[in-house]
Amino acid sequence: MVFCSLRPWFGVMLYSLLIHFLSFQQCFADGNSTLVVNASFDKENARRIPQSFHGVFFEEINHAGAGGLWAELVSNRGFEAGGPDNTLNIYPWSVIGNESSISVSINQTSCFERNKAALQMKVYCGGLKPCPYGGVGISNPGYWGMNFEQGKRYKVVYHVKSETKFDFQLSFTGIDVIKVASNTRHVFGDKKWKRVETVVEAKHTNHYSSLQITTTSEGTFLLDQVSAVPLDTHMGHGFRNDLFQMVADLKPKFLRFPGGTYVEGDHLQNRYQWKDTIGPWEERPGHFDDIWNYWSDDGIGYFEYLQLAEDLGALPIWVFNAGISVHEEVNASALAPYVQDALDGIEFARGSPESKWGFVRAAMGHPKPFDLRYVAVGNEDCWHFNYQGNYLKFYEAIRSANPDIQIISNCDASSAPLKHPADLFEFHIYTDSNDMFSKSTRFDHTSRAGPKAFVSEYAVWKEDAANGSLLAAIAEAAFLIGLEKNSDIVQMVSYAPLFSNINDRRWIPDSIVFDSYKLYGTPSYWVQKLFIESNGATFLDSTLFTTSSNKLIASAIIWENSTEKKNYLRIKVVNFGTATESLKIHINGLNSNVQQFGSTKTVLASTNLLDENSFLDPKKVVPQTSSLENADKYMNVILSSYSVTSLDLLI
């Protein structure tokens, strides 16, 4: 009845809008497309993109931590990697000398209660039988080579026990057999464990060195917890400087950690257990990562992740196990130890130094609580039968003890409401480039009444991405623009994975690729940099009119340069098509003039869609910035095929 009475009015309005649109198109017929930006926002009620919009996700995968960001040079430093029943496997350590001169085995009599394995070395030469030149002993290659740089200093710590007096030499030798650094020690045979700490200075540069511990003395001794770390780690916190800086350059507002499926484990016995990763590093038992199939000594543990977030100026987002692994799950009736573990972890992070777990944190050198505001209950577990029941147990306990903590569910609410309470829900997507481009509208119709979205893992992968292609990065940029448009419901977003040691690429592509001393960012890394200033920026409504392509997407923001305190209007446009586009831009309602001097145009493009960066050409595909000479409220911009263009207009 009401609809019938409005039909004539509706027809008139539709006709008027059609005439207006046709006349509008006629005005801009010279261009393929037109973007109209409405800059007449009310500062009192302007829509702000969340301050914590862009962040990073760190998972122990691809040796991201062990052999990566964590600067420890020795691999399997405690000889625990072979497991509790191991007696012979010392990998990646190797023996220097033949069987007539030396034998080694694993002895379970270490002085460390939580990791009893130690290396027993029996030397048969050095008495009546001379040892070979250079002695016999053991060698450790680190994580595909230890990086030593001339003039830099390295702290070496080890624990040794001997029944007889002997001398041994600790040295670092390059692949060309040049001795990079060395230190000779005299060990007294009093049958007691001794902790030895020394500092060595590199006399040469060699990026693929090995640690050698050799002797020419006959006898038996035990060795355990051998560590070598550069003295110049970031702020002395143990993070490799160049890798830390690559992350810091993204200016992340949050750090999600430590996984990922790493949190779950393939089986629950190998799940990430935070209490095993705190305290003195010598006492950390380490664990086998049966998801990515390598040993982690947990040198970068729960405390270090929290410290990393603080050093980055990012909010920590702790992902804990929900009583579920890939192949096992605990039901709600047996979940109490897991719930208590989560509560204890929260107390460790933000409890007062007088609390049980806050005291432990303070004893580790951080009496001030960390700024933990977010926790995620599990990782990609919503499909498990017990997840929602388990989730509610965690939710109720955490909400009761810590009412201000924001609790994140694994269940996707982008297209249907959740069946349980949550502050945020997670959305993960790994797909091809065409689908990623189309997913830019994924949250257009998500209910605004429910919890906020946390897009905590996204990436183009497989054939379109290869090892990290331009094509993948362009599609991801379109997806990010779509999230920016929906930033009233999407609160946070992070790419995954963050790191990959090129010697052990369990998952590709990744954001940052490295080896013992080199690194580069993939095109996806550089796309993320184009979105840094979106954090806390003012989002502007814009409308794209196009008849020549359905492969364009654009957004507009106003942001302030933090150093110069100048305001910029940024327009980002993705052309995901094969043709060059001519884009007319109209900025309406702007109360200031656009200044040509200081306005810039940044373009990410290349000669081939599948171009990648590499160690040989680390900046083959990176954004190129130039002056924007025709900067104005009304201008025309040429968009290259398959490109990301960012215009910064100084206003």
pLDDT digit string, tens, across residues 400-413: 999 999 999 999 99
Quick one: average pLDDT of 316-344? 97
Tell me: pLDDT of 453 over 80: yes
Q: Stretch 52-71: mean pLDDT, rounded?
A: 98
Does the pLDDT of residue 10 top 70, yes or no?
no
pLDDT higher than threshold 60 for residue 12: no
- Prior bond of 316 cis (ω within 30°): no
What six digits make up the tokens of 52?
């914590």
Lowest mean pLDDT among 122-131, 170-179, 292-301, 560-569: 170-179
143 pLDDT exceeds 60? yes
Retrieve residue 196's tokens: 């030895």
Q: Cα(1)–Cα(62) distance, rounded to whole angstroms?
A: 64
Residue 23 has pLDDT above 60, yes or no: no
Q: How many CA atoms lie less than 13 Å away from 122 in the CB half-sphere?
A: 8
Specify the DSSP element, H or E, that contains 261.
helix 261-264
pLDDT digit string, tens, across residues 309-328: 999 999 999 999 999 999 99
Give the contacts of 608 (CB within 8 A, at least 6 positions apart).
470
Neighbours of 634 (CB within 10 A): 11
80: CB partners within 8 A, 6+ apart: 115, 117, 285, 286, 295, 297
What percent of the chain has pLDDT above 90? 87
Question: Where residue 43 falls among pLDDT bands split at 50, 70, 90?
Answer: low
Rounded to an integer, what distance in angstroms lies between the CA atom of residue 153 and that of residue 148? 9
Q: Mean pLDDT across the stretch 280-289?
A: 96
The pLDDT assigned to 564 comes to 87
How far is the C-alpha of 206 from the C-alpha of 204, rounded, in Å? 6
Each residue's pLDDT tens digit, 493-506: 999 999 999 999 99
Question: In this structure, are residues 408 and 454 in contact, taking their beta carbons and an 8 Å threshold?
Answer: yes
Q: Which tokens belong to 9?
A: 């009015």
Mean pLDDT, rounded, of the chain: 93
Give the per-residue pLDDT at 358.
Answer: 98
State the pLDDT confidence band at 20, using cuts at 50, 70 and 90. Answer: very low
Q: From CA 580, how far away is CA 569, in angstroms rounded?
A: 24
pLDDT value at residue 651: 95
- Give residue-wise pLDDT tens across range 153-206: 999 999 999 988 889 999 999 877 778 998 888 888 888 999 999 999 999 999
DSSP 8-state symbol, 462: G
Please give the pLDDT value at position 550.
82
44 pLDDT band (50/70/90 cuts)? low
Rounded Cα distance, 45 and 41, in Å: 8
Tens of pLDDT, residue by residue over 473-486, are: 999 999 999 999 99
Give the separation between CA 545 and CA 25, rounded to whole angstroms.
8
pLDDT (tens digit, 9 = 90+) per residue, 577-616? Answer: 999 999 999 999 999 999 999 999 999 999 999 999 999 9
Q: Residues, the chain, total?
A: 651
CA-nearest of 332, 313, 314 to 322 is 332
What is residue 2's predicted lDDT score, i.e. its pLDDT?
Answer: 33
| Separation of alpha carbons 238 and 242, rounded Å | 12
pLDDT, position 373: 98
> How far apart, in whole angstroms, are the C-alpha atoms of residue 413 and residue 426?
8
Residue whose C-alpha is closest to residue 556's, from 540, 536, 533, 573: 540
What pLDDT, on the 0 to 100 scale, is given for residue 187?
A: 82
Domains along the chain?
A: 33-49+538-650 (2.60.40.1180), 55-69+234-535 (3.20.20.80), 94-230 (2.60.120.260)
CA distance 530 to 572: 9
552 CB neighbour count, 10 Å cutoff: 20
Q: Mean pLDDT, to the nearest integer, of 346-351?
A: 98
Percentage of the chain lying above the pLDDT 70 cut: 94
The stretch 209-238 carries a mean pLDDT of 96
Q: Is the pLDDT of residue 26 over 90?
A: no
Confidence category of residue 45, pLDDT binned at 50, 70, 90: low
- Report the predicted TM-score, pTM, of the whole model to 2 decimal places: 0.93
pLDDT on residue 188: 81
- In the block, tokens 């009583």 appear at 323
